Chain A
Amino acid sequence: MGVSLRDEYPDQMRLSFQEELDRLEANLQEESELVLRSLRGAINALEQQDAELADEVIAFDDEVDGRYLEITKGIEQLLARQTPVAVDLRLVLAVLHINLGLERMADLCVTISKLTKLSADLKPDDTLVEAFEEMGARAEEMIRVAMKSFSERELAGAESLVDLDELIDRANRRVVKHVFELGNDPAVREWGLRMIIVSRCLERIGDHAVDIGEQTAYLVTGEFREFTDASHPEGVAGDESSARPSS
């Protein structure tokens, strides 16, 4: 007996608003594709010690930044002109956060590439190269899972990012342990220290992917919550050195 407004008014209204929201979300998905290209380039340059490719990754960041600014301006316009509320408001706020997270990921790729250039003359260590390939692949997977679960408003996918993140965190700890064991050769130690930062960058990309998952959960449920919290690490395996900072 209940008649919903959808039955009463079958033609959806505010079409231009919906188009703007759709465009914003499509732009965000494209931004994530750019970040994936940046990440793949950074990992390849690192493995192959390819300074030229590293330079390309650094230059490519302008593309990501351009997309980031475009999305930011789109959000500004939407807030000013369309006054989104309820699920629309949550979507716009989630896009705002995710946009920032993606831009940060691209910045981390730039950092990796800069370190690659600084280390181009040093002999690589096979164990670390393998570890970075694994971390890179995991980070790529996390970005894909994060953006897919956001696009499909799928809570379970978003929450699965916590487990995926734990795998990157473990790899990060293995890298740190390995670098400690590299010996006393000053050149190797210098390289090792740079590689710890590379490892940390990849680990941070995983954290940003988890943050995207948290935004998806907010969009779907309307509740702000952190999936993991450094001050309440129960339920999350791992030691404190890899626990994500609570923000």
Chain B
Amino acid sequence: MSVTMAGVNVDVATQARPLPAKEFREVVFDVKDLGVSYSGNQALQDVSLEIYRNFVTAFIGPSGCGKSTFIRCFNHMNDLIPSAKVEGTILYHGEDMYGPEVDAVEVRKRIGMVFQKPNPFPKSIYDNVAFGPRVLGMTDGLDERVERALQQSALWDEAKDRLKSSALSLSGGQQQRLCIARCLAVEPEVILMDEPASALDPIATTRIEDLMHELKKDYTIVVVTHNMQQAARVADMTAFFSVNRGEEGQRTGILVEYDATSKIFTQPSDKRTEDYVTGRFG
């Protein structure tokens, strides 16, 4: 059904579309009893949840709750820390991501990541986007691939006349979109974003949020954010993490509640979630 509003046809069905029922969601990651420890200190424990395809899933929670530790499990980033130990399972399309035959480089090709601080290489804009494809030997039609990635990250119009300029000449917000383009250039399935907008001004932040909305049509996005309103705006599902303190004061991150974002922000089931999202405690 559509209605005409101010001369524009608006499809009513697309407004505030409810999430598809669980049986119609495709599970990308199935996390079971996941725990992560650093040098024996339990940073995160007993996390079980499912990440769905073409959803934006947000992880929120106070500092030290393990949400960044958790997102880093999805592309083997914790492997880079020698003392880190991951327990439990993450099934990626049904396959154990931490099985013996899994190649971390192959995983990272399919599961890209964008970090808090824009981190372009000190190279040209073009070379930044072309970097991944070149490393992976995806050099056929490289120019088109670079353009497509820049188009998808909404940077093409601003960058097309200066592709040979240094990436460092771009603004912070543009650099972050360049990092997203660099991630998209190798055609991943999932994009992990760890605080992607926390170093950006409000306008640049809005552009990243719009971009996430656009990108979820083709990708599955997982985002860690300190900005609860950002989670409320962009995410379909939201997971709230908190901290348990052990007898000797050691802090362990736990998953408190995972539900549709609309539920988390109108009637969370757990008192701890309510305390956090209303900003009263924590």
Binding site for B on A (CB under 8 A): 1-6, 8-9, 12-14, 17-18, 83-90, 222-223
Contact = CB atoms under 8 A, between A and B. Distances in A.
Nearest to B229: A83
A5 B267 contact: no
Given A4-B271, A4-B275, A5-B272, A85 B282 contact: no
20 contacts: A2-B244, A3-B244, A5-B242, A5-B272, A5-B281, A5-B282, A6-B275, A6-B281, A8-B245, A14-B278, A14-B280, A83-B229, A85-B228, A85-B278, A86-B278, A87-B274, A87-B278, A88-B278, A89-B265, A89-B266
B268 interface: yes
Contacts of A89: 265-266
Contacts of A8: 243, 245, 281-282
B136 to A, nearest CB: 43
A18 B279 CA distance: 11
A2 B273 CA distance: 14
B244 A9 contact: no
Contacts of A84: 278
Contacts, number: 61
A21 to B, nearest CB: 10
Contacts of A5: 62, 242, 272, 275-276, 281-282
A83 B232 CA distance: 11
B267 A90 contact: yes
Contacts of B62: 5
A86 B277 contact: yes
Interface in B235-282: 242-246, 265-268, 271-282
A87 B16 CA distance: 21
A86 B243 contact: no
B272 A86 contact: no
Given A5-B275, A8-B243, 9 more contacts: A3-B243, A13-B279, A13-B280, A85-B278, A86-B266, A86-B273, A86-B274, A87-B278, A89-B265
Contact of B246 (A1, A6, A9, A86): A1
B243 A12 contact: no
Contacts of A85: 228, 232, 265-266, 277-278
Contacts of B268: 86
B282 A9 contact: yes
A29 to B, nearest CB: 22
Interface string B49-66: 000000000000010000
B275 to A, nearest CB: 5
Contacts of B266: 85-86, 89-90, 222
Interface of B: 62, 228-229, 232, 242-246, 265-268, 271-282
Interface centre among A5, A6, A83 (most CB of B within 10 A): A5
Tell me which of A2, A3, A83, A89 has the highest count of chain B C-beta atoms within 10 A of its own C-beta.
A3
A86 B267 contact: yes
A85 B277 CA distance: 7
Nearest to B242: A5
A52 B275 CA distance: 53
B280 A12 contact: yes
A71 B243 CA distance: 38
Contact of A4 (B229, B272, B278): B272
A3 B245 contact: yes
Contacts of A222: 266-267
B254 to A, nearest CB: 8
Contacts of B229: 83
A220 to B, nearest CB: 11
A6 B268 CA distance: 16
B243 to A, nearest CB: 7
Contacts of B265: 85-86, 89
A18 B280 CA distance: 9
Nearest to A89: B266
A9 B281 contact: yes
Nearest to A82: B279
A222 B246 CA distance: 33
Contacts of A87: 274, 278
A8 B265 CA distance: 22
Q: Give the 6 A-B residue pairs with the shortest CB-CB distance, closest first.
A: A222-B267, A5-B282, A5-B281, A85-B265, A3-B245, A5-B275
